[in-house]
Amino acid sequence: MIKILDGRDASTESERQHGRAGTTSRGGRSRRAFLASAGTTAALGVAGCLGSGGDTVKVGFAVAQSGAYTLLGESVINGFKLRVEEELDGQLGGRDVEFVSQDTEGDPGTGSSIAQEFITREEVDVIVGSISGAVASAMRPVIEDHVDDLVWLCPVGIGWQWPMDTPTDDVSVSCTSTQFITGDAYYQPSAPMADFAIENLGDSCVLAFADYSAGYQYGGLFRNRFEELGGDIAGEVPVPVGTEDYKPYLQNVDTSADFVFGMFAGSDAINFVKQFHETGLHEELDLSGVGFLAEADALGAQGDAAVGTYSALPYTPGKDTERNQEFVEAYQDVNDREPNVYACTSYDAAQVADTAIEEVGGTDANDIADVIPGIEVDSPRGYFEMTDSMPYHPVQDVDIRRVVATEGDAPPTNEVIDTIERVKAPFDCA
């Protein structure tokens, strides 16, 4: 049985740091790796807090449901609910699920307050969120203060920040002992794209990115690898999140470069790609980027302007595997649209949560967090294995894609042209 609530209240932010944050292991407890197959797993949207110990699993969605990242938040929720409602009879680990939902509006302060409310007032077992890395950063101190009460599963927003010019080998990140990423760890769609670009697009690039933490992280990791391979960054063009008119910023693109590497998502990706084409830049430079730039839910609005765009991401809806096609068909049947990476990573987060809850026979956060490291799931994306040490994130394959036109009235689609196998982020905990 599923109960769905929609809350709007928010309480105060906690800024205390929990003593266990920043450690590199969870002590001497055992780590078990096991397969979470499609028949024994569940759906989860983003971050998950698992610790009430009751017979019901309470899931709180703290994702953007308005603004530039509306499509992303909707996809996260839809991916979670697909697994729970359609494939597991409304349960996680054999326990009934109750949903609550609040809109972060992409605002860090709002996200922090929602996290506080979900933990202290709603007493959720699963916090699902966020979308923006900046919001996740604001949520982190609140979650760390209650680290024994929840497990944080992150299909999108991670909340890591470091200076853009930091060498990749020197990157250290904020580790929370119960945070588990099920999306990508910044490095995975960035560095592999640099390898592809230097061989296929040229050795001179302009970076264009959303002016917030994730934009700098993705862009910086691409730049590090690109320069390591002998490439040159001809310029950087940061653009505020939620911008509608990109043309003043596009005027700053150095057209003597070979290509642009972009990091935009949601409506920002739609506007950037369309206006990149409208200004005629597509006639002078190739366009590439992190896969959010040309994701399934943006291609319909981008139309022919997206054709020819290269990108890298762990999931592609058109991937020709039986497991993926089953997922795509099920998602389309329920939501009347093709799934994107956000739907897939939330679906997989659910698989992780369902299997872990069933394995420990309850929702104690520490028990759950002990069995997730090393877990493997039967993902629509392909290979997925959670690292066995912090920062916890999936070792996974990364698709290099190119947007191609389709016949008739169908929107363009991503065609996989190469796959980089079993990519892991080379980061340590701060």
Question: Which residues are within 8 A (CB) of 209 and not within 5 positions of it... i.e. 6 or more apart?
Answer: 215, 216, 218, 219, 236, 237, 238, 239, 262, 263, 264
Looking at 69-135, which runs of residues are DSSP E strands? 91-92, 95-103, 126-128
Find the mean pLDDT for residues 282-288: 98
pLDDT band at 297 (very low <50, low <70, confident <90, very high): confident
Find the mean pLDDT for residues 72-83: 95
- Range name among 10-19, 176-185, 299-308, 371-380 with the lowest pLDDT average: 10-19
Output the CA–CA distances (angstroms, integers) from residue 373 to 214, 310, 370, in the order listed.
Answer: 25, 33, 7
pLDDT value of position 151: 86
Residue position matching structure tokens 């009879």: 89
Find the mean pLDDT for residues 104-122: 95
- C-alpha span between 289 and 266 (Å, rounded): 14
Which among 34, 64, 31, 32 is positioned nearest to 46, based on CA atoms?
64
User: Which domains are present in the chain?
Assistant: 2-183+320-392 (3.40.50.2300), 187-313+398-425 (3.40.50.2300)
If one compares 34 and 81, the residue with the highest pLDDT of the two is 81
For 145-166, how does the pLDDT look when each residue is reduced to its tens digit (9 = 90+)?
998 898 888 998 788 889 888 9
pLDDT value of position 54: 62
- C-alpha span between 86 and 168 (Å, rounded): 41
- C-alpha span between 311 and 291 (Å, rounded): 5
pLDDT band at 378 (very low <50, low <70, confident <90, very high): very high
- Whether residue 317 is predicted with pLDDT greater than 90 in this model: the reply is yes
Phi first, then psi: what are they for 363, rounded to 5°? -120, 25
- C-alpha span between 75 and 58 (Å, rounded): 19
For 183-235, how does the pLDDT look when each residue is reduced to its tens digit (9 = 90+)?
999 999 999 999 999 999 999 999 999 998 899 999 999 999 999 999 999 99
Find the mean pLDDT for residues 319-348: 95
pLDDT band at 408 (very low <50, low <70, confident <90, very high): confident
- Whether residue 298 is predicted with pLDDT greater than 80 in this model: the reply is yes
For 3-31, how does the pLDDT look when each residue is reduced to its tens digit (9 = 90+)?
334 333 333 323 323 232 232 233 333 33
pLDDT value of position 130: 86
- Range name among 40-54, 298-312, 395-409, 415-429 with the lowest pLDDT average: 40-54
Helices (H), 311-376: 322-335, 341-360, 365-371
For the question of whether the overall pTM of this predicted structure is more than 0.75, the answer is: yes
Percent with pLDDT over 90 in the chain: 75
pLDDT value of position 161: 87
pLDDT value of position 398: 97
Percent with pLDDT over 70 in the chain: 87
- C-alpha span between 286 and 261 (Å, rounded): 9
Q: DSSP secondary-structure letter at 305?
A: G
- C-alpha span between 25 and 239 (Å, rounded): 38
Find the mean pLDDT for residues 346-374: 93
Spatial contact of 85 and 44, defined as CB atoms under 8 Å apart: no
- Whether residue 421 is predicted with pLDDT greater than 70 in this model: the reply is yes
If one compares 45 and 131, the residue with the highest pLDDT of the two is 131
For 31-68, how does the pLDDT look when each residue is reduced to its tens digit (9 = 90+)?
333 334 333 333 333 333 334 446 899 998 999 999 98
- Whether residue 134 is predicted with pLDDT greater than 50 in this model: the reply is yes
pLDDT value of position 139: 94
pLDDT band at 353 (very low <50, low <70, confident <90, very high): very high
